[in-house]
């Protein structure tokens, strides 16, 4: 399943990100696979975590014949029916490309011991989409919990063009900071820059950030498609937050809501340095993160 790519060494903080032909990761590395859009599969020792998996054609079915038909530009890299022995699924918010009904229902059925972490504002949505109540862990910004020994979760707000809360001060869009063994990663979900975000990230000493780069504009927003960081904004956030490794995502899925891969690769070649290592991921590759 995995394909070989070049090893990328980061001297500044001694992190190496690479991929091999072997499907198995080494004992002290954190491995991840990109699933398309904002989805990632993480593997550390015997623990498996999914973040925002969209592995169906739900949105194409829902919006068939509409202005934005949501036809996939890439096939799902894995059939959710094949995914077993999951420990956790993290959903950053309720949009269907992050909390997919046709993916979550299958994962919940086939992984009865798996815990699904969702925003408190979307707990009922997760149940409607097939997750059992006893599988749910509902969280809000400011929460900090130990999922299991060696894996901790810190929850921060995300601004999907805005910081949106309900009357209980519960946020609709969340970001997750995961401390997994010796590694600390940040997955923002859908987000744009907002005041105070970089300060939060500096305090958490993030090793790797997973950030969307499809950008935003009035045309999409007026049609109900809120946007995210631009490429330059994602880079700037990492620099301001002292984050030296950036994995970009939220591209290549829908024609109306993406940035061209060619453009991303051109931009990334201009950015990569000892201060910021930028990866434009591909599906079917395994990427390992190691600290020397």
Domain 8-291, classified CATH 3.60.15.10, yes or no:
yes
Tens of pLDDT, residue by residue over 82-94, are 999 999 999 999 9
When pLDDT is averaged across residues 223-234 and rounded to a whole number, the result is 95
Q: Which helix (H) or strand (E) holds 187?
A: strand 183-187
Q: What pLDDT does residue 227 have?
A: 94
Tens of pLDDT, residue by residue over 170-189, are 999 999 999 999 999 999 99
Instruction: Give 231-281 as a DSSP string.
Output: HHHHHHHHHHTT--EEEEES-SS-TTS---HHHHHHHHHHH-SSS-EEE--
- Full-prediction pTM beyond 0.85? yes
Other C-beta atoms lying within 10 Å of the C-beta of residue 26: 10
User: Which residue in this structure is represented by tokens 């990663």?
Assistant: 185
Q: What pLDDT does residue 3 have?
A: 35
For the chain, the average pLDDT equals 90
Tens of pLDDT, residue by residue over 120-141, are 999 999 999 999 999 999 999 9
């Amino acid at each position: 399943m995995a394909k070989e790519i070049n090893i990328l060494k980061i001297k500044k903080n001694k992190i190496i990100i690479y991929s091999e032909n072997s499907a198995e990761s080494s004992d002290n590395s954190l491995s991840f696979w990109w699933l398309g859009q904002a989805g990632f599969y993480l593997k550390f020792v015997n623990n498996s975590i999914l973040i925002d998996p969209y592995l169906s054609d739900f949105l194409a079915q829902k919006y068939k014949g509409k202005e934005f038909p949501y036809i996939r530009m890439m096939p799902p890299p894995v059939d959710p029916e094949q995914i077993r022995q999951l420990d956790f699924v993290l959903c950053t918010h309720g949009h269907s490309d992050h909390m997919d009904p046709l993916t979550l229902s299958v994962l919940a059925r086939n992984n009865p011991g798996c815990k699904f972490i969702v925003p408190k504002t979307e707990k009922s949505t997760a149940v409607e989409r097939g997750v059992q109540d006893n599988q749910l862990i509902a969280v809000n910004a400011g929460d900090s919990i130990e999922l299991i020994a060696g894996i901790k979760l810190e929850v921060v707000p995300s601004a999907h063009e805005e910081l949106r809360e309900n009357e209980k001060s519960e946020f609709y869009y969340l970001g997750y900071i995961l401390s997994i063994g010796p590694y600390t990663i940040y997955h923002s979900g859908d987000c744009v820059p907002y005041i105070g975000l970089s300060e939060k990230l500096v305090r958490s000493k993030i090793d790797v950030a997973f950030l969307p780069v499809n950008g935003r504009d009035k045309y999409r927003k007026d049609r109900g498609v809120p946007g995210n960081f631009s490429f330059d904004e994602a880079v700037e956030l990492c620099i301001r937050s002292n984050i030296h490794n950036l994995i970009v995502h939220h591209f290549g899925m829908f024609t109306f809501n993406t940035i061209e891969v060619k453009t991303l690769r051109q931009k990334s070649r201009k950015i990569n340095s000892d201060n910021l290592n930028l990866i434009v991921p591909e599906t079917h590759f395994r990427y390992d993160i190691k600290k020397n």
